[in-house]
Structure 1
């Protein structure tokens, strides 16, 4: 069985972070300790969902 790749854009990350503003999401996703995007598309960067979820669990435990 093939593992399905789950990707997140900034809009999905905003939701996971409790509905933060676009500006705040940009500030967070450009932090040095935030996971590196796996690709840059015309619509913007995309990240592996598991990397972002792990970061939120470690850095923002109140979001769990």
Structure 2
């Protein structure tokens, strides 16, 4: 589930096995990738950007 897929905070929460609230806080971090699209009520992140961020060694999510 990577590549050009777009994830909401719920998708990120699922991928990282964390709560949706924790994912929202994570997405607000300055070192987290920027969303590629914003639509009413939620943002979308490119899955490959999130995966790359994880591979860079962000252990304290």
TM-score (norm 1): 0.76
| Alignment RMSD (CA, Å) | 1.5
User: Is the aligned partner of 1:23 residue 2:24?
Assistant: no
1:11-50: CA deviation from partner (whole Å, max 9, x where unpaired): 11001111x1121111100000000001111240001111
Matched residue SS, 1:45? strand
| Runs (5+) with no aligned partner, structure 2 | none
Moved over 3 A (4+): none
Structure with greater Cα Rg: 1
Distance (Å, rounded) in 1 between the aligned partners of 2:20 and 2:4: 24
Q: Which has the higher helix share?
A: 1
| Runs (5+) with no aligned partner, structure 1 | none
